[in-house]
Amino acid sequence: MASLLKYCLICSLYPYAPKFNMGKKKLFNDPIYGLVDFRDEVVYELIDQPYFQRLRRIRQMGLSDYVYAGATHPRFQHALGATHLLYRGLDTLESKGVVITDEERQAAAMAILYHDIGHGPFSHALEGSLVGKHHEALTLAFLKRVESDYGSIGTMAIQIFEGRYEKKFLSSLIASQLDVDRLDYLSRDSYYTGVAEGVVGYDRIIKMLEVKDNELLIEEKGLHSIEKFLVSRYLMYAQVYLHKTSLVAEKMLKKAVDRVKMLLAAGEKVEMNMSLETLLTSGAGSITEFDIMELFSSLDDIDVWDLLKRNVNHKDRVLAYLCKGLVNRQLSRIIIGGPEVLASEPYRKAQKEVEKMALTGEEKGYLLINGQETITAYSEAKSAIRFLLRDGQVLPFSQQTALSEALFVDKALQYFIYPRW
């Protein structure tokens, strides 16, 4: 008490002394940004929610650690990092005269903090497999739950998340082709995988942010930073996110869950967590918002690993193969390449090997996987990155860059996955 009175006396004598901060303050030691602090009580309350804490147990990159051993970081880190970048972006815009209210800051922070909360175990690998809904639809359900607790701020957060808020630049900071989500996950995934090609200059990009007519823009002198950002995004997809080993593991995982659902529907016994079994047997149509909060939000990567480990010796040989392969990293083989790969000699040899396995038609549906993935580094048709020139003109990225247009054309990858039997 005496020290506080002494501080107040100093403040009265020296009006420019720093104000005594009686508010709550937490520090997060982030490997990318160093010490990060959030001074917003709403953000702390949201972080402490059990369904947000669940993100500590969901890996950001699914099964990519089968290739990059360090890629075990959780979505919890990413959500905090993206929120930190959002605050920095808002600070930059305010320093340039853009008016942003305290309520808008809180709502935007709420939207970005919870932008990935709809992800289930193993993130994109099991997208739609557990409850038949996209993670963004589930995220919206969680935000609506928050809306009732935070009133107008919660309502504004939903409007920003859905792109309906009048200040469009707030939505662009959260979901666009140049948002804080992408800036963080490229920087973070690059750090944990050790892939230097993914490093982006997030600091300079944020300093180059501008707003005109409620549209998020980049200052003209930030062009090369944006070019580097898009090249990094392309290389991370080509080298990391669509690495053939990760792709095989994720497709096997989805097929394992599909096989479990089929066996349960047929009345077969499969060992697993009760919440997971409820979701897999109930069907998407019967999942209420309450079910989502109570069941879906209780699941994480640990529950799926438990399912896989319990069933490595299941009497169904397809499920046993998929579970054992994932647990022991004994993955199926893959043929991957451009559209011409399905006419290649390796593909023909793979087909001959498959013929010798004598798989039934049903087994083929789970063990033979044909598909296509697409790399899209940038698409001006979606939401163009636009630049504010010194003379006041606003031009899209395509009219500013000298990079080859070939880099921004969708690249299709065909693949064929088959077992090691």
Q: What is the pLDDT of residues 207-263, one digit of tens each?
A: 999 999 999 999 999 999 999 999 999 999 999 999 999 999 999 999 999 999 999
Last residue of some domain: 241, 258, 292?
241
359 within some domain: yes
Q: Which residue positions in the chain have pLDDT lower than 50?
A: 1-22, 284
Tell me which residue range forms the domain holding 151.
25-241
DSSP state letters, 282-341: H-GGG--HHHHHHTGGG--HHHHHHHHHHTTT-SSHHHHHHHHHHHTT-PPEEEEESGGG
**Residue carrying structure tokens 């022991």:** 328
Tell me: do 169 and 308 sit in the same domain.
no
- Average pLDDT in the chain: 89
Angle, in degrees to the nearest 10, between helices 301-310 and 244-265 = 70
Residues whose CB falls within 8 Å of the CB of residue 407, separated by 6 or more in sequence, listed in order: 230, 231, 234, 377, 378
186 within some domain: yes
Tell me: do 204 and 226 sit in the same domain.
yes
Q: How far apart are CA 254 and CA 322, in angstroms?
A: 10
Last residue of some domain: 241, 268, 288?
241
Q: What domain count does the chain have?
A: 2
Q: What pLDDT, on the 0 to 100 scale, is given for residue 131?
A: 78
- Give the bridge partners for 335, in sequence order: 416
Tell me: do 299 and 361 sit in the same domain.
yes
Structure confidence by residue, pLDDT tens digits, 196-220: 999 999 999 999 999 999 999 999 9
- Give the bridge partners for 210, in sequence order: 217
382 — phi, psi (to 5°)?
-80, -70
Structure confidence by residue, pLDDT tens digits, 308-356: 999 999 999 999 999 999 999 999 999 999 888 888 999 999 999 999 9
Tell me: do 93 and 229 sit in the same domain.
yes
